[in-house]
Amino acid sequence: MTLAFTTSPGDTVALRTPGCVDYVAAFDAMRSFTDARSPRAPDEIWLLEHPPVFTMGLKGRGGARKHIRDIPLVYTDRGGDITYHGPGQWVAYVLVDLQRRGWGAKRLVQSLEQAIIELLASHRIRSERRAGAPGVYVAGAKIASLGLRVRRGCSYHGIAFNVDMDLAPFTYIDPCGYPGQRVTQLVDLDVRCGLADAGRDLLEHLTRALGYTGSHSGTGDLPPPSP
C-alpha cells in the first residue's frame, strides 16, 4: 500500500514504509523507479531499515573488497565515501523530481539536513551542519549521513538517521571517509522515544522541510525493479 496526498504536482508525495529491506533490492528499485518515472509522477519518500551492510559511494568506485568483518560491502552510485547501515537506523530515500520544482542538489541536501536539525531541536538537542561534509552533527559526532544521486533531473538515495543501533561497525571504517569521525545516535543523547515514533517524527520533518503539505505513515512494498 502507498499513502499519498496531493495539492499540486510539486506538492505531491507518496510515502512507503516497507520495514527492513535488503540494500541491493532497495538500490535496484530506486534506480528503476527513477528511470521509469514520468514527468507527472508524484515524488516518493521510502523510509526503511537495512540488514547490516556497508555501502561505498563513488569515491571508492572500482574497489574489489566484498566484506568487512563478515558484513557485506556494496558499491553504489551515490556521492560520498563509505558508511554503515543496520537495524535501528532509519534510512529515508528521497525520490524527488528536482527539475520540476526548480531545485538543485545543494538545496535538497540543505533541506534534508534541516529536517534532522529541526527534529533534534524538538528534543532540545543542538545540532549543526559541517561545511564540505554533508550530514548532521551533535557536538562533533555524526548522527545523520547523507548521499545523493541525480539522474534525469531526479534524485534518489537520501539520508540515514541513527536512532538505536549497534554503532560498533562504524569503528571498522573511516565513516564517510573521515578517520576518527565519531558517530552518535538518538538513544545515546537520552532520547528514548522508540524507533517507530522516531520514524514518524522523521517523516513529518522531511515532508515539511521538502515543502510538501502534511504527512502520512503506513506500510507498503517497494515498486518492483524493471525487468
Give, for 100, the enclosing helix (H) or strand (E). helix 98-101
Q: In what order do the strands lie in the sheet with 154-162?
A: 3-5, 13-20, 43-49, 89-95, 154-162, 141-151, 135-138
User: CB under 8 Å to 158, separation ≥6 — which residues?
Assistant: 45, 91, 92, 93, 94, 112, 146, 147, 148
Mutual orientation of helices 195-209 and 105-122 as an angle, nearest 10°?
Answer: 130
- Per the CB < 8 A criterion, the answer to whether 90 and 195 are in contact is yes
C-alpha cell recorded at residue 167: 554503532
Say whether 176 is catalytic. yes
Going by the DSSP 8-state scheme, the letter that residue 41 receives in this structure is P
Catalytic annotation, pick one of 20, 154, 176, 193: 176
SS3 191: coil
Residue positions annotated with a catalytic role: 176
